[in-house]
Amino acid sequence: MRCPFCLHDDSQVKDSRPTEDSAAIRRRRQCPACGARFTTFERIQLRELTVVKKSGKREVFDRDKLARSIEIACRKRPIDEGKIERLVSGVVRRLESAGETEIGVGTIGEMVMEGLQTLDPVAYIRFASVYRDFREARDFETFVGSLSGSVVPLPTRRLAREAE
Q: What is the pLDDT of residue 80?
A: 93
d(CA 156, CA 105): 34
Q: According to the model, what pLDDT value does residue 164 have?
A: 47
Q: Are 131 and 123 in contact (CB under 8 A)?
A: no
Q: Is 101 helix (H, G, I), strand (E, B) or coil?
A: coil
pTM greater than the 0.85 cutoff: no
Q: What percentage of residues in the chain have a pLDDT greater than 90?
A: 52
What is residue 119's predicted lDDT score, i.e. its pLDDT?
A: 94
List pLDDT tens digits, range 68-96.
Answer: 999 999 999 999 998 999 999 899 989 98
Angle, CA 47 vertex, CA 54 and CA 103 arms, to 5°: 15
The sheet carrying 50-52 orders its strands as: 58-60, 50-52, 102-104
